[in-house]
Structure 1
Amino acid sequence: MEHWTRIDHSITVQEAVDFVQSPASGGIVTFTGTVRNQTQQRPVLKLFFECYEPMALLEMDKIVQAAKEKWPVQRMAILHVKGEKLPGEVVVVIAVAAAHRAAAFEACQFAIDTLKETVPIWKKEFFEDGEVWVAAHP
């Protein structure tokens, strides 16, 4: 299975889809995470993402390998941002291609859930009255 993991200042859904797409794929499933404009009824001005990049990429690769062992996935991309992002901007994209849709859906769900649990990425939320560091993926 081919795969691509990346942490960068800018990511797009289209680049992930372009990577996983192939004539053999009967289904491509994507998950796109964006910055919400509020947290617990507090307006969010922006987020700042930070990570320990070598370990984050290693953990993202482990997610891909685990998905490969569980489902007949053909290609997979996991992309996450670092740096400052405003409400509405994309912060994480997962794209999975498989011959059949069920495997693509299940692998995509697994990937985002596992990423939130295991990948060392943190975010700082900025509000009008201050800011706070929180686990981006508790």
Structure 2
Amino acid sequence: MSRRACGLIIFRRLNAAVSSKPNEIEFLLLQASYGEHHWTPPKGHVDPGEDDLQTALRETEEEAGLKSKDFDVLDGYQKEMTYKVKNIPKTVIYWLAELKDYAVEIKLSNEHQAFCWLNVDGACKLSKYQEMQEALREAHLFISTNK
């Protein structure tokens, strides 16, 4: 039996008022409050009757407090990963979403104990799984080439 989860890779662009590097891109990662305390973008399992994007939107609101009005989902980017968790196949689908206000408050659920905004190198370093690192680098490249 395979498990299916969906989520959003959320990013923000720092503007000149906040950073000496205007349009620097930062990704949101959440640290799980269970298991190995791994870092990932918001994601979760698909509920019965829910489509994949609905799941990604619901999970993002539940886990990070971000509503769909807080970001724009970008057309043309979707990343599907398949790996095993405790010998059970799991498929995770991510969409890419840009935060509208870089200062919006993140409100964590009890599933997570911390969050951070990091550039692509920092996010990849914190996210120890190769599939997630590849997804972040592909997302960064997509953002950089589709301004």
TM-score (normalised: structure 1): 0.31
Look at both structures and tell me which one has the larger radius of gyration over its CA atoms. Answer: 1
Higher relative contact order (CA 8 A, sep 6+): 1
Structure with the higher helix share, 1 or 2: 1
